[in-house]
Structures are given as structure tokens and as C-alpha cells.
Amino acid sequence: MKKIFVLFLLVLLTGCATTKVLTEPQKPTITKNLMQKEFDILPPPNGKKVAVAVYSFADKTGQRRPSATMAQLSTAVTQGAEAFLIKALQDVGRGEWFDVVERVGIDNLTKERMIIRQMREAYEGDKAKPLSPMMFAGMIIEGGIVGYDSSTKSGGSAARMLGIGPQTQYSEDIVTISLRAVSVNTGKVLVSVTTQKIIYSASDSLAVLKFVKNGTQAFEFESGLTVNEPGTLAVKAAIEAAVVELIKEGQQKGVWDFAVTYVAPEKKE
């Protein structure tokens, strides 16, 4: 009877902890830049900022969200990755590398400028002050999410003694990003890079199986928690790494140069 009470107390405490994790409200958070160290160490360009345009950064994988039980209609990766690319281009090198011009919402921008021009002409006539000309880009940053490989590696381990023991399982997915810089003047692809990011998923569980009353009754209990690395943040990190690599490769090919000598950060073993 004492063993049953202890096991029941274990179930109660574990259930309360799991319920708290799943139901406790979370405050909105600001997404961190996983490449912040590289962004800060990267020196500024030897000259003015480069004006670049981003038209789109599409999902070219065609992959649906992985599922072992049913067909998913949701895509495996975000459909709005251009927002991450624009932010990375604005922040890289402490914001001293690129001036990003609006092209994703160019239709909305053009319509708004047309409305302003019409209103000024209606109220001011021929003396209406014209709008400043739109800034043009000397370079287009293109690319996309070109690969999503699910369950490239999976495994786990388990051990039980007297019907009690833990179990651990894990799996890995890989997302691949392609990024290139194209000259508007010549149409030549100046720099092209590809980066990958591993997406981890892990599951830990505890199982209890005991027979009581001379083996006539069974007590079974299972509890666990699965943690999946957000695919959206993985895409964001891969894009940030691609922007840094684009600048470094561009410097090696003579597209641009650093104002000071670049010192790569030490890799952790």
C-alpha cells in the first residue's frame, strides 16, 4: 500500500508540473539575433553604404510540415523569410553596410506616392511641391529557402530497472538557404553563398510499470516532454549566417573591401 501511495504522489507531482508548463501564459519576447557576435565584429565597408533591394525570398522547397500520422497542409518553413533578410541586411556590421530600399511592398508605396501627388495638385495646383525621387538600388539580393530535409538523423536510448526507467529520443532536420548578390548595372551575379542550419527535436520521458497484489494488478505511469527547435528561428539564423558569409566572400572576390582588417572569431570546440 505504501508503494502505491508513493507512485500516486509521483504521478500527481509530475502531472502538476507538466500542466503548469503547458498552460502558464507567456509574455511576448523580442527575437534575438543568433549571429550578433559576428555582426558586431564585422568591420564597416571601405566606402559608402551599398544600396540593395530585396524583392522576395521565397520557399522553394515545396515541403509540408513533417508528420508521422497524417498529411499536413502547413508548410515546413515560413513564407515570409524576406522580413528576416531585410532585418539582417540592416543590422549587419552595426548597420554600416547596406541601405535597403523597399521593394516587397513597392505597389503600396507607389500607390501612396500617387495619392500624395494628386492631393497636392488638387490643393496647390501648378505650385505643388513634387515628391523626392525614390532611391534606386545598385544591387539586388536574391535567393530563397532551397532545401528542407526532415529526419536526417534520429535515435534514442532507454533503460529500465524493476519496471522504472527513462527514455530519450531525438531527431534532426536540415534547412538550406541560398543567397546571391546581383549587379543591377550588368545583371552579373557578383557573389553567391549557401548555408545550412540543423533543427533539433528531443523528447524525454519516464515510464513506470509495477505489478501489485501478488501480480494480479498492474500500475502503469508515463510522463514526458518534447522540445522542438522552432523552424522559423532556424531559418532566421541561416539567413543571418548567409548575409555574413556573403560579405566575407564579396571581400575575397573584390566586390567590396573592409575599412579595417577582419579578424574571425574563435570557434568553440
- Tens digits of residue pLDDT in 3-32: 554 545 554 545 554 445 555 666 676 666
Q: Which helix (H) or strand (E) holds 226?
A: strand 217-228
Average confidence (pLDDT) over 235-247:
92
- Measured at the CA of 58, the angle between CA 52 and CA 64, to 5 degrees, comes to 160
Query: Which of these CATH numbers, 3.30.950.10, 3.40.50.720, 3.40.190.10, 3.40.50.10610, describes 48-252?
Result: 3.40.50.10610
Residue 39 dihedral angles phi and psi, to the nearest 5°: -65, -35
Count of Cβ atoms closer than 10 Å to residue 12 Cβ: 10
* Domain edges within the chain: 48-252
Q: Residues 240, 34: contact at Cβ < 8 Å? A: yes
Average confidence (pLDDT) over 130-138:
88
pTM of the model: 0.78
Count of Cβ atoms closer than 10 Å to residue 231 Cβ: 19
Q: Tell me which DSSP letter residue 126 carries.
A: G
Residue 37 has pLDDT above 60, yes or no: yes
Q: Residues 225, 17: contact at Cβ < 8 Å? A: no
In angstroms, the CA 82 to CA 78 distance is 10
